[in-house]
Structure formats: C-alpha cells, structure tokens
Structure 1
Amino acid sequence: MRAGDSFTMINRGKTSFDAEAFTLLYLPIIGTDAFALYQLMLSFSTGRISHFLEYLNIGLHPFSEALDKLSALALVRVFDDHSTLYLEVKSPLNFENFLADDFYRQLLISRIGENRVAGLAKTLEPKGKEISKKFHEIYKVNFTAESQSAKQTNQLDMGAFQSLMERQALHFSDENKDRLTLYSLAEKFELNWYELFKQAESTANADKTLNMSNLIRKLSAQSEPQPALSEFPKAFADLILISKSHEPEEFLRQIKTQAGGFVSSDERKILANLARQNLPAQVQNVLIHYILIQQKNASLSANFVNTLANDWLRNKVFTAETAVKRILERNEQAANKATQAAARTTHTGPAKIKKAAPEWSNPNYENKTSQADLVKLEQIRLDSLKKLENTKPTS
C-alpha cells in the first residue's frame, strides 16, 4: 500500500451510523486514529490514500494499522486490486446488539472495566400494559417457501463452552482475557465450541484452570502441515498409524507382554506425569516405542523419559509425525557427528586418549552383558590372576 494508491468506496451512503453508540462502544477499542478514519470514510467516495493521510495528519503506517483495526471488527471490508483499494464500510452495532454479543462485550470490558460496561447496559424499564401488535396481526403474508436467508456464523458459542467447563470442573485463570483468547483461537483455527473445548481440556493445568499458552502452542503445532506417511520409512509410517489408535498404557502393556514383561507401578506413574505435562497420547506412544524397541531398554526410566519429553515439548512436538521426524533428525545428527569424527581421525592420526566416565555411572545404564560374555570375562579374570602369581618374587 502506497500513499499514491487510489481508493473507491463501494457502498457510500448505504450505512447507518449512531454517533453516540460508536463513540461509547467502539472508541475505547479501536483508538482515535481508527475512530476518525471510519467517520472520514463515510464522507469520501473516491480519491487517493494521501487524502486520508492529509485529513488525519498521520503517516502511512498508522493509517494501515487503523484500517486493520476497523476490518478486524467488521467495520470495513478491504479489497486490494494492485494500485486501487475498494472499501466497503459496514454499519456499527447499536447498543443492544453490541452489549448482547459476548465477544464485543468482553472486548469493551477489557478496555473500560466491567462497572462502566454495566452502566452502559442499563435502560429504563417501561410501565403499563404492552399493547404492541404482532406482525401477523397486521400484515397478511402468504409464505410459499421457507426463507433461506438465515446466515450461519462460525462464532464461538461461549455459553455452551462454559456449561461444559462447569460440568468438567474447569475454570478460567483470567476470565476476561481467556474468553477473548478463545474467541480469537476459534476464528483463527476455524474450530467450533466443542472442538475448541476438547483442545482446551487436554492442555489445562493440574489445578483445572485453562492454560492459554499451552493451548496456543498445541493448536499452532497441529495447524502446521504434517508430512505424508509416504515420506517416512515403512516401519515408522506403521508406528505413526498405530500410535494414533492406542492409549499409552495399553500400548506399553502390549509391548511389554510381547517381550514377556509387565507394566510396573513406576511406569504408570511416568505415564501419568507425561499426561500432566500435556504431552499428547500419540506422542507418548512414539516415545515409548523409541525407548523400549529402538533403544532396546527393558523398562521406562524416569530420567530418560523426562529428558526426551522436555526436548520434544520445547520443540513443539505434538503429533506422532513430528515425534518420528525428531527421532530421525537426532539419528541423522548422531551419524553425521560419527562420520566427522572418523574423518578427523583419518587426517590427524589417532586421537588423544581421553578418560571418560564409565557407562555404568550413567543413571540410564542398563547391563546388557550376555551369559556367554560373562563366561569370557571370568576366564580373563582367572588368566590375569594366574599371570600375577607367576610374576611374584620368590623369597
């Protein structure tokens, strides 16, 4: 958008405007620049963007921000046809409709407080008997077909959302702020109230308060395009499908049963902790498979599980696809490091011997020595003792 671009108002003179309602209801939300711009658009028909800038005494960037605020509240629709903007101004809501809309009401509360909004909502109660007539009593109309003009909207049904919250004993951390966030998320990710509730429920805190940060992270990660199963090796593609159809404890039980083992109470505690950390079930299943099958551990270790879970949460791993992708990336990085180390050894000669901590000192270490290896180790120990005895000095 440039100051020299043209604009055309496509519905000039076809809007209703209540100056008092617009001032009291919209001004605190949109600010003075957008407030003045809207009224100026009611007077202009065509011209250049520079005309707005001159009248309002603002720059192009503040003008663009003001226009965005108006379009976000459905006060104007903007169409960009290269060097020309087509602007359709919409009528503001009146007092009754504005304050009856929970989203707009909460938005105004966030700006001027609940007490002032309650004051704006007060009206005089009528006295006497109502003698108003019904439409059908005065106008005789033959309806030949049902009207199809009812407009369906995707606006969040906050009443239904909160009713289910109450049944599940969930509550807001900051009601006004959380409600506005929910409206924004429902619109951005095109979710109905029930779909959004299930996501909010799965990311709630342990004290049953909604966690907007977790919810935003999860929805953002899930909205990103997921790689096709064909992009993964066959075994991992199968793992992704299986991970999405099992609960973690059942998935763990099946793996342990196949190996002749059982799910311990400690492992159940580990899974419960992963659920509290809002790690999705399908991601937990990939983690379980990685530790028990790919890493060949007999059981889940809290330290190892928590290390991986923290890494995945920090890297926004909320789907089986991204979990498998993370594993493959780590495997590739490890292989590259090994290749680079081997290349350095070839060019510079044998590396200096560095004493490393023994593997058994690692809290995740598992003894995998076979019986045959134990026999060999015992023979080595006996041979060493025999050599020592032969080298002892004789008295």
Structure 2
Amino acid sequence: MENSGEAIIQLSGTFHQDSTKVLTLLYYPIIGKDAFILYQLLYSLEDLSIGVNQIIELSNLNDGTYQKARETLEEFGLLKTFLNTSENRWLYFVCPPLDSTSFFSHDSYARIFINECGARQYDYLKAYFHVDEMKTDGYLDVSKPLDTSRLDLWNDKKEEVFQNNKANEQRVYDFDFNVFLQGMDRIFPIRLRTPENLSFIAQLSSIYGIDERDMKCLVQRSIHPSTKEFDKDLLKELVFVSRKNVKASKDPYKMGPVAFFKSKQNGAPVSNSDKHLLESLCVDYGFTNEVVNVLIEYCLDKTNQSFNHSYVEKVASSWARLKIDTKEKALNQINKVPTRKKAPEWYENTEQTKPSQQSLQEALKLQEKLKGSEG
C-alpha cells in the first residue's frame, strides 16, 4: 500500500527566478541524485492524477529507492505528502526550494552542505550567489521591537478560540471526497483542490449537514464563470441560505449541528443568528458535531427552549476549558452538574386552613386596641 494507489500532483507556493539554480547547486549535493530526479519528475507532472507505480517507472527507481527519495524531499521541505488511507489516494504538493539567502542562513541546511561538500565549495557558492552579510560595526540597532501592548486586550476567551482553531486545523471530517470529486475534473480542477479548499468544503458540509452530491452543486455555483476561480465566500453564503431538508441519521448526535437544531424545532427554519452561533461552536471552539449537538440539547432544556446565546457561550467556554471533545465527556459533564435543591415539604405546602370564629374576634379586638393607642 505504501507505493500503490493514485496520486494527485500539484505545485504549492511561489517558485522564484533562481529556483532551478538553487535546486541544482545547493540542494542536489545534499539530497542526492534519486531525490533530485524524483523532484524534477513530480514538477513536470503538475496537475495530473497518476498511479504511484507509474511515477516509480518514469523515475527509473525501484520501490525502496523511490520511497527513500520521496522521504528525503519531504525532509528538506520540497514535498508535502498527504494520504487518504481508506481510499489509498495520495496528494503530492511540490514545494519551491528556499532562495539562496534563506538556504545559507538556514542552520541545518548550511551545516549539512558543509558536512557533505566542504567549506571551500560552500564559500565558493556563497560568493556565486552574492550573499554578502552586511557589517554592522559602528552602527546602533534602532529597529523597533514588537509592541506587545497590542495583546493587552487578550483574554481567556480569545486564548480558548486560538487554541481550538489550532486543533481544528488538523480535524478530519466525515466527507467522501471520491463522491464529491466524481465528474468534477473540469468544474473543480486539480489546481483548486488545495488542502485549505478541501478542508473548507468538508467543514461546511459537516456543520450544515449538506451531503457530497448537494455540495457539488453549490461548489459549481461558487466557481467564477470568467476567471474560473473558487469563491469561498460565495460558497459559504450559498450554504448559509440553503434550506434543503436533511435526512435524519441513525445517531442524531452525528448530524450537522444546523440540521440537528432544525430537527429540535420541528423542521422550522434556523435563524441566521442561531446559524452563526452554531458555526462558531464548531469553528471557533473546535467542538465536534456530537459535542455541539449535546450542548444544543442541554442548553435548550435549561433555558425552556429559548436557546439563549449568552448562556450557550458560557457553557461552551466552560466545556472548552474542561477539554470536552467527545459525546461521552459531554454527557458525563451534564450528569455532574448539580440540580437545584428541592424546597422542603413545609415550604411547598401552601394549603391554608380557615381561621376559627374565636380567632377572628380576638384579632378584631387587637386591631381596635391598636387604633386607640395610636389616637
């Protein structure tokens, strides 16, 4: 499986004018012939979907040398590799080499080059690329340091959102890209299938409960007809206003939060403000669909079905601090929340007894007596 399956190859980043020179004169001596050949081949196969076995054959490498060459390119930042293990599909992103200045100032690369080629060749190539270090003798460093006062308003809630966003970047969504990409080669070409774009599409699908086939139609409407560029803002708008009914899942907690919330209000449309809040719970707080749906159910129960936003955010912040990231943890937390103590029986017993005639007479006499003392 390691060297089988289909691979999609795409260039990533900006290739500078001296990329070929830097790759040949600086990288080649430290990555070796096999990795150098593989890099040039992958660069030439840009925007193609091709079998990994075909790549091995075209590079004239065997399985072992191919894998070693690929891993070498990955180590030196020349290749980023992604694998869909269930489908055995690969994404290869060919990255540009560093420019010469960055290469020579890189602690590891410069040391490896000197170790492999010697200081003499290092100095020669440094002079060739005209990398001159400016001498600062006699100068005073007057560079303005970073003004950390910009973070004076930073608070715990913003830190939670920041940390959850970092975790959310590596989140895997239940979205079948094979179904989504089928027949989309001309509509949504390989150059648009970046990790960022694919993750964005899967995220929207997950939050709003839109399946792969419906998402294909929405993405097609998000491609600019003249520039052929993908408009993510337009896709988000189309998803946001979509009113397509979503089939209930066997496990309702696995539904998209917007669809789950809609089911909780008997199919009535979800308001825009509620949609924004649900999206925030998924994106900003980094909660999974199951956690968000448990939170929805809990908050509706506690607020008499009003879904009070300030209360929802208060609970979400608490769960984020407690690192609640599964349905089980969310349900356990709910069970731990103490319920309001029941009032004692004597307090709730409001039954009144009718006063006796004697008691009334005594009360009237007391009133007359008090009136007389006041006069």
Q: Same fold (TM over 0.5)?
A: no
TM-score when normalising by structure 2: 0.32
TM-score when normalising by structure 1: 0.30
